[in-house]
Amino acid sequence: MKIRLASEILTDSIVDGPGIRTVIWTQGCGHNCLGCHNPITHDFNGGFLKDVDELKEELAAIKLQDGVTLSGGDPMYQVDACLEIAKFCQENNLNVWCYTGFTYEELMNMSKKNNKIIELLNCIDVLVDGEFVLKEKTLNAKFRGSKNQRLIDVASSLKQNQVVLYEEKIKQFDKYKKNKALFI
């Protein structure tokens, strides 16, 4: 199976979710958000194709990463390939964050026609959902660009059949980092 990427994977990111992360930049996005910081990733024929098995080998070789972030572009346009990658991450104890321009509710609707979306959501720890809205732009919201976007605890949301936000866990992580710093 192939995935269309915008660039090779990026390691050691500290801005695409908590901890030190590897980022996979998928190519292709149909949302056309005004003010998108990454318009080069929109073209569904742009970027390059990469074998998913090869990508998994690269992920397996990377050490000292807390997790993997699926970004783009919008990973939800390549559900099958992203599912395979997210499953691999799950099996290898790497937490998965995913950025998408779709809202959680839109994805749930889309999943009625494509059950793989639910399978993919089941492999994602945190979904950062919704389009980037320029008038909602903020520099103060952690791990997202505009205030409408949400950090969603996917497992709890699926279980409770409603959106459960991840904010509390982020606060705990910050507290943990602060406490850890006191001991270094």
Q: Which residue is nearest to ligand SF4 (CB)?
A: 101
Site string for ligand SF4, 109-148 (x = CB under 6 A): ----------------------xx----------------
Site string for ligand SF4, 53-72 (x = CB under 6 A): -------------------x
**Rounded to whole angstroms, how far apart are CA atoms 128 and 76?**
12
Q: Which of 36, 108, 110, 170: binder of ligand SF4 (CB under 6 A)?
A: 36
ω into residue 35 within 30 of 0, thus cis? no
ω into residue 73 within 30 of 0, thus cis? yes
Residues 6+ apart with CB under 8 A from 93: none
Q: Binding of ligand SF4 at residue 73 (CB under 6 A)? A: yes
- With beta carbons less than 8 A apart as the criterion, state whether 9 and 54 touch: no
Give the footprint of ligand SF4 on this chain (CB under 6 A): 29, 31-33, 36, 38, 41, 72-74, 101, 131-132
